[in-house]
Amino acid sequence: MQQIFNFLIRNKNNILFLFLLALAVFFTIQTHSFHKSSFISSANVLTGGIYSWANDFDKYMHLDEYNERLMEENKQLRNVLTNLNDTISVENYTDTTSFDGTYYFRTARVINNNYAKPNNFLTLNQGKEAGIKSEFGVITSKGVIGIVDRVNSRFSRVISILNSDSQINAQLNKTNHFGSLIWDGKNPNIVQLVDVPRQAPVKEGDTIVTGGKSLIFPEGIPIGSVENFKLDQSQSYYNINVRLFNDMTNIGYVYVIENLDREEILELEKEDEQ
Amino acid sequence: MNNSILKNIIRFVGLVFIQVLILNNINFLGYINPYLYVLFILLYPFNANQSLFLILSFLLGFSIDLFEDSGGVHAAACVVIAFIRPNLLRFSFGISYDHQNLRLSTTPFGARLSYIFISIIIHHFILFFLEMFSFSHIIIVLKKTLFSGIFSVITIMLSLIVFSKKYR
């Protein structure tokens, strides 16, 4: 017994080192497993608060740019709205309760944004108190940003599309051939759309939008345009490089999308499995 | 002694803040960031308690991880260089380290550079390797280690010169 104690005391630094290293590696592995990235995230009061404080300067510096983006978006929405009035007369919707819509939008500001690492996250300045929950989609007026991952009362963390764990269902705007969107970790402006069947008539410059298979995003949210493409090793699927419409290095304000039907659809699918 | 503790606490907090609020946003050429916070580990008193030093290094890396959402990669890299620091010191400064009267500002430039360079390269390699977490990306890991490493060494040497006390 004495010898064991002596051994422990003599090697206490080595043991401490191994313990701390194991702890650090354990945390690392945890972040690499999707949805288990547990208690360590920038969405906590301390780091969130500091980021939010530092971001106030940044917000002020970019006011002009944010205004311009808003004007642009307003212009687009107004165009859509005017055309809508021409085709559909509004009076037809007398029963307003059944036209609630499937999606609910909230706004938030990005207070921390990573894009240079293989696994990137963003932090938003809204959390549970604003009604945000995990698995909500995050977009800007230009396109998709990512999916909410962890939430605390005032902040939330978003898995960016620039994350090797992220997989978003996406399709060609023209033909509805779909695949999944991943990132190879190299260029923050280019993501990869894989598993698109060979039959799809892909052309450079085609628009890629979110697919209808996802319960997170509405169908048809823009993502990017086809930069180039080639067949994969099996010669039956395309690997497409997609240039993002969003500048992921400069985001600012975002919309958080809640799918109000999500719970019911998931429940239905679960019943199906049983 | 009290003075030394206070100085190290200020250095710890200050370096974490500078790292997460300023240096992590540089992204030179897309992915090159200097990691100045390692300076805390390099400058920590050489004759201090090794166990406490290991724990502090872990906490340092861990605070950076908290801000960066990177799990435990910085913590792991910091603990490793804190653990091997005595060997690095002996390698770079030779016999004078064993006399325990070494001060970094009084060492020859070459020895100081080798101590900082080797520590940084080891730290960055572990950092980027754990970040990628796969052997198939080893070339990217080495590239990042080299470029970020050079950048880090330059920032660390510069801040050592700027904050040196030789003028007193």
Residue B35: give its domain's CATH number.
1.10.1760
- B35: pLDDT strictly greater than 80: yes
Q: Rounded CA gap, B58 and B123, in Å? A: 13
B37-44 average pLDDT score:
89
B51 at A interface, C-beta within 8 A: yes
Chain B CB contacts of A44 under 8 Å are 66
What lies within 8 Å, CB to CB, of A99 at 6+ separation is A93
B70–A117 CB contact, under 8 Å? yes
CA distance B109 to chain A (A): 30
Judge contact between A48 and A152, C-beta under 8 A: yes
Q: Which domain holds residue A201?
A: 42-84+103-260
Q: Which domain holds residue B128?
A: 2-162
Is the reported ipTM for this assembly greater than 0.85?
A: no
> Residue B103: helix, strand or coil by DSSP?
coil
B71–A28 CB contact, under 8 Å? yes
β-sheet bridge partners, residue A123: A112, A157
Residues 108-127 of A with CB under 8 A from B: 112, 114-119, 121, 123
Within-domain flag for A20: no
Structure tokens at A254: 């975002």
B50–A13 CB contact, under 8 Å? yes
Within-domain flag for A256: yes
A40 at B interface, C-beta within 8 A: yes
Within-domain flag for A6: no
Within-domain flag for A175: yes
Q: How many structural domains comprise chain B?
A: 1
pLDDT at position B76 is: 93
- Count CB neighbours of B119 within 10 A: 25
Q: For residues B54 and A82, which has the higher predicted lDDT (pLDDT)?
A: B54
B50–A114 CB contact, under 8 Å? no
Q: How many structural domains comprise chain A?
A: 1
B51–A13 CB contact, under 8 Å? yes
Within-domain flag for B167: no
pLDDT at position B20 is: 85
Within-domain flag for B58: yes
Mean pLDDT over each residue of chain B, to the nearest integer: 84
Question: A89: buried, middle or exposed (CB in 10 Å: 19+, 13-18, 0-12)?
Answer: exposed
Q: For residues A91 and B21, which has the higher predicted lDDT (pLDDT)?
A: B21
Q: Which of B52, B18, B49, B17 is nearest to B155 (CA)?
A: B18
pLDDT tens string for chain A (274 positions)? 788 888 888 888 888 899 999 988 888 887 766 555 555 666 677 777 888 888 888 788 888 888 888 888 888 888 888 877 666 555 555 444 545 567 888 889 888 888 878 888 888 988 888 888 888 889 888 888 999 988 888 889 888 888 888 888 888 888 888 888 888 877 888 898 888 888 888 888 888 888 877 788 888 888 889 888 888 888 888 888 999 888 888 888 899 988 888 888 888 888 766 6
Question: A28: buried, middle or exposed (CB in 10 Å: 19+, 13-18, 0-12)?
Answer: buried
Within-domain flag for A1: no
A164: CATH: 2.40.10.350
Within-domain flag for B101: yes
- B29: pLDDT strictly greater than 80: no
Q: For residues B38 and A40, which has the higher predicted lDDT (pLDDT)?
A: B38
- B167: pLDDT strictly greater than 50: no
Chain A CB contacts of B14 under 8 Å are none
